């Protein structure tokens, strides 16, 4: 429930407040190799205390940077909180980051220590292990000259606590709201990542604001977390969960989210739109495969969920027959689902509300710690990204670009005053780069991104996001990327939805070769052409997709073509498929 305690000022306040809450046997659960490991409140607090004191004994001093490259787990949480309580600056690193990005982040941040997780994280960290003073991880003392076992750091901390039982409280009390807590590198969807410096006050203001918008109950709410903690959205939400006393379950793999929702039965989740699209597509496939009377009922119910403007009391029959089954596939208890990280279509949002899953769309960016605005139970308007968070102000400039001011706005980009000045107005507002509308009731609608307004060589402007979103509404299209900037006309790369195609060709027994053969054939091309033609009918002439190419290999974080929040890295994809793109522009425009 909402706490009557004073708002937190720093992240150590979360730890001290957690120590005063009702102790629980499982505050964090992590799944590894199919098994759950559970961490109690007492064990988490003791480990955070010992790790922070251990780092202090090793020589970590205020303001020094410590990288964390590990999967979401109690280990990650202990390292992150321990670093910041010790006065250090936590620098999370995405495990899927390319070697050159990891090297850049280490050098740019002047990273002194590095905390690593399992084997995969250690391999990813290889380019920088010799460039930091200490590499901390389980069993590392035998593997590297500068390696140190995680347990050894904890032992040093326990010894320091025994010598001075007040040392930990002193560390917590020493941290100021104005101190930099973390450097988070932007995902680099358009180029070189920037190091966003966020203070304790920035993040603490977000945790407090989240509590004013969403009322969590420590006795009944259960959270499932599957997004990387290196991303500021999930990380801030984790702090909110800890602040609220809610048990958090970390998924071992995003591919297992469907299974884990049924197992954990969460009441609250944060998601990215791509997961919601995948769940929706699976439901559609299951409905299409159903036969007889059950199949007819399923298609009738799905049509209602897809088309009606809003849920009605008269849908009790559809709910009893089908919608309840859809909810059970997601655990059956979801009462708060917050979507962020990328654009969410109004149609998809309506679908989830119609089947009884309360879905709240929000908007933010790393530079704002990250939430700017969100829909919430007491204020929800589909098609918008909601109202501003408490104490956050928004406005639009003469170009229609959204600007933000508030306690959540970053200190600036690390060692880059010029870049900071570029996104800061003279009167202190952050320029987001996103084009927005703000209605009379304060609801914000994001309509595009200034940097992603492509200008063709004929001088016409094209916004790719609505076009790509419309293409992806087809069940056979997983991703689409519009190409138009500086070109004579609009084209698109099409990435097939293999789940749908496999279902049509015979289900799980279809091998990869058969799938690749199908998407490279005429039947698939004709189906995509029909999708393109139908979409083009409602577009201005200069916006219409004139040609497309089917790309068999899907973009992913592994091949660096997706950011961790499933946004397309356009510059990388254009480089990889430059030949296919150039081929589309050979000859004239398609009639």
**Domain end call among 143, 175, 207:** 175
Residue 566 has pLDDT above 80, yes or no: no
Q: The domain containing residue 70 runs over which residues?
A: 12-175
- CA 104/CA 191 separation, integer angstroms: 13
Q: What is the bridge-based pairing of β-strands 401-405 and 430-438? A: antiparallel
How confident is the model over 161-173, as a mean pLDDT? 96
**Could you tell me if 459 and 345 lie in one domain?**
no
- CA 136/CA 122 separation, integer angstroms: 10
**Could you tell me if 409 and 496 lie in one domain?**
no
Please indicate, yes or no, if residue 520 is contained in any of the structural domains.
yes
Task: Report the domain count for the chain.
Answer: 3
| Averaged pLDDT score across all residues of the chain | 90
Res 129: pLDDT: 94
- CA 495/CA 339 separation, integer angstroms: 23
**Could you tell me if 433 and 486 lie in one domain?**
no
**Could you tell me if 160 and 296 lie in one domain?**
no
Q: How many CA atoms lie within 13 A of 495 on its CB side?
A: 16
Beta bridge partners of residue 401, listed in sequence order: 435
Q: Give, in degrees to the nearest 5, the angle at Cα 296 between 295 and 301.
A: 95
**Could you tell me if 407 and 536 lie in one domain?**
no
Over residues 516-537, the pLDDT tens digits come to 889 999 999 999 999 999 999 8
* Locus of tokens 């419309």: 470
Task: Report the CATH number that the domain containing residue 53 is assigned in CATH.
Answer: 3.40.50.12780
Of 85-94, 261-270, 471-480, the least confident: 471-480
Res 64: pLDDT: 98
How confident is the model over 66-80, as a mean pLDDT? 96
Over residues 358-417, the pLDDT tens digits come to 999 999 999 999 999 999 999 999 999 999 999 999 999 999 999 999 999 999 999 999
User: Among residues of the chain, what percentage have pLDDT more than 70?
Assistant: 95
DSSP assignment of 534-572:
HHHTTS-GGGSEEEEEE-SSPP-TTTTSB-TTS-B-HHH
Residue 3 has pLDDT above 60, yes or no: no
- CA 402/CA 400 separation, integer angstroms: 6
Q: At what angle do helices 232-244 and 74-85 cross, to 10 degrees?
A: 90
**Domain end call among 144, 175, 206:** 175
**Could you tell me if 274 and 402 lie in one domain?**
yes
Residue 1 has pLDDT above 50, yes or no: no
**Domain end call among 427, 448, 469:** 448
Res 61: pLDDT: 95
- CA 81/CA 49 separation, integer angstroms: 9
Residue 2 has pLDDT above 50, yes or no: no
Residue 190 has pLDDT above 60, yes or no: no
Residue 313 pLDDT class (50, 70, 90 cuts): very low
Res 339: pLDDT: 95
Residue 590 pLDDT class (50, 70, 90 cuts): low
Over residues 105-144, the pLDDT tens digits come to 999 999 999 999 988 899 999 999 999 999 999 888 765 5
């Amino acid at each position: 429930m909402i706490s009557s305690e004073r708002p937190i000022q720093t992240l150590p306040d979360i730890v001290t407040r957690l120590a005063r809450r009702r102790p629980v046997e499982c505050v964090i659960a992590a799944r590894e190799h199919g098994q759950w490991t559970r961490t109690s409140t007492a064990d988490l607090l003791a480990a955070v205390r010992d790790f922070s004191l251990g780092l202090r004994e090793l020589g970590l001093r205020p303001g020094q940077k410590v990288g964390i490259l590990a999967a979401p787990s109690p280990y990650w949480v202990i390292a992150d909180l321990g670093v910041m309580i010790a006065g250090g600056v936590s620098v999370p690193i995405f495990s899927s980051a390319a070697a050159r990005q990891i090297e850049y982040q280490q050098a740019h941040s002047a990273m002194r220590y590095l905390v690593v997780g399992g084997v995969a994280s250690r391999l990813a960290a290889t380019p920088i292990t010799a460039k930091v003073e200490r590499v901390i991880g389980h069993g590392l003392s035998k593997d590297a000259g500068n390696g140190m076992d995680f347990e050894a750091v904890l032992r040093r901390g326990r010894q320091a606590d025994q010598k001075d039982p007040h040392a930990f409280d002193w560390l917590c009390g020493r941290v100021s709201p104005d101190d930099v807590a973390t450097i988070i590198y932007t995902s680099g969807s358009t180029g070189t990542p920037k190091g966003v410096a966020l203070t304790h006050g920035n993040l603490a203001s977000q945790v407090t604001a989240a509590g004013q918008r969403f009322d969590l109950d420590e006795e009944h709410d259960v959270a499932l977390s599957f997004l990387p903690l290196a991303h500021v959205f999930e990380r801030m939400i984790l702090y909110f969960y800890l602040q609220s006393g809610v048990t958090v379950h970390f998924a071992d793999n995003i591919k297992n989210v469907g299974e884990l929702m049924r197992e954990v039965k969460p009441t609250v989740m944060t998601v990215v739109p791509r997961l919601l699209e995948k769940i929706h597509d699976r439901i559609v496939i299951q409905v299409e495969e159903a036969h007889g009377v059950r199949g007819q009922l399923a298609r009738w119910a799905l049509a209602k969920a897809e088309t009606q403007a809003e849920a009605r009391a008269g849908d009790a029959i559809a709910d009893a027959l089908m919608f309840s089954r859809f909810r059970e596939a997601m655990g059956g208890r979801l009462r708060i689902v917050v979507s962020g990280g990328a654009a969410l279509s109004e149609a998809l949002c309506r679908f989830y509300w119609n089947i009884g899953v309360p879905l709240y769309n929000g908007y933010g960016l790393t530079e704002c710690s990250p939430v700017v605005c969100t829909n919430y139970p007491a204020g929800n308007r589909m098609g918008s990204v909601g109202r501003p968070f408490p104490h956050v102000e928004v406005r639009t400039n003469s170009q229609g670009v959204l600007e933000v001011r508030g306690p959540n706005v970053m200190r600036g980009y690390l060692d880059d005053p010029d870049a900071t000045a570029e996104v800061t107005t003279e009167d202190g507002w952050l320029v987001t780069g996103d084009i927005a509308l703000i209605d009379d009731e304060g609801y914000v609608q994001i309509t595009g991104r200034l940097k992603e307004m492509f200008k063709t060589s004929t001088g016409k402007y094209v916004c790719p996001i609505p076009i790509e979103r419309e293409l992806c509404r087809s069940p056979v299209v997983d991703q689409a990327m519009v190409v138009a900037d500086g070109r004579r006309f609009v084209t698109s790369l099409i990435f097939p939805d293999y789940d749908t195609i496999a279902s049509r060709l015979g289900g799980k027994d279809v091998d990869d070769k058969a799938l690749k053969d199908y998407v490279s054939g005429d039947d698939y091309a004709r189906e995509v052409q029909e999708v393109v033609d139908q979409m083009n009918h409602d577009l201005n002439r200069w916006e219409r997709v004139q040609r497309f190419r089917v790309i068999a290999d899907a973009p992913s974080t592994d091949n660096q073509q997706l950011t961790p929040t499933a946004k397309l890295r356009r510059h990388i994809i254009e480089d990889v498929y430059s030949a296919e793109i150039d081929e589309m522009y050979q000859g004239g425009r398609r009639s």
